[in-house]
Amino acid sequence: MKLHTVTSLGEFDKVLKSELVIVDFFAEWCGPCKVISPFVETLQSDYNQVLFAKVDVDQGKDIAAKYTVSSMPTFVYFHKGKEVNRVVGADRAGITTGLDQLVSLNPAAVKSLPGAGGADSEDAGSTVNSADNSAIAAFVPKNMEILNSGIDFTSTEALNIANNGDVRNVLTNGLSGDQEFVSDTDSQMLLNVQLQNNAKIQTILLKKPAVSGDNQIPSHIKVWANHPNLSFDDTQSIEAQHVGDVVFDGEWAEIKLRYVRFQNVSTISMLIEGEDEDECTNLDRVVLIGSSGEARSGKLEKMQD
């Protein structure tokens, strides 16, 4: 079913009266917008508790300006009239993850997430991720949001990871099946995460794997802001803005940062290690919580076809 296109601020305000809303900001001249549109339309049946809408940025310039949309497509997520997340680009995984996170803010709606039918569901991985999202929502303070859907994966990297472990999995839905994310040769792994929008970061959540096998779970973390492409050598010479222990309460460890040290963050780097420096460290998921600012580029740009 085609998404309804909103053309005025007044109509947009009425749309936001729904509890859960996703808005696709697009342009007729945008190739990626045309490619992703059919996929987004198919999501309506899976997320029927969410109101889907579209805004043509050329026809609704006042709406695009109000929400500082500068690239297309941009998908903005609203909970009770307030923006809680956005995904820039035709990123199928990011859009779906954003919807999972949005629905998790309404506990009554979590049961209708794709794959939420229990252990016998055909999509057991989605069941696990939906449960994760419900747990994550409990860590998100009022006026804060989950920032992972705003990660720029083209400039994000993970160093010292065995077997080509994919950092995208750890920063989106977590691991599933036989996937693993384990440090190589020693206990340290270094994640350099680039954000699409500058952000204030308050909390980092780490999830330990359901089964660690012969590997250890994280026990220490150091965090730097705005040091793109930080190397292991750099971690020895550049002082971290946060140094602390990783303490798990069940599956999750909550690392609270000193908010004043993590303002206007475009890149966040995390050195994560286990207790024994000679053993490999295993990790399942990383979640960033804070508040997203304006895009680093305020200029309206066409995305390449």
Catalytic residues: 30, 33
CB of 251 closer than 8 Å to CB of 173: no
Q: Is 227 exposed, middle or buried (0-12, 13-18, 19+ CB in 10 A)?
A: middle
**Token pair in block for residue 170:** 């750890």
If you search the block for the tokens 């599956």, which residue do you land on?
251
Distances (CA, A) of 265 to 204, 210, 230, 272, 298: 14, 31, 14, 19, 16
Distances (CA, A) of 34 to 56, 202, 255: 12, 36, 40
Q: What angle do CA 111, 208, 181 make, to 5 degrees?
A: 105
Cα–Cα distance measured from residue 245 to residue 217, given in angstroms and rounded to the nearest whole number: 12
Q: How far is CA 79 from the centre of its chain?
A: 16
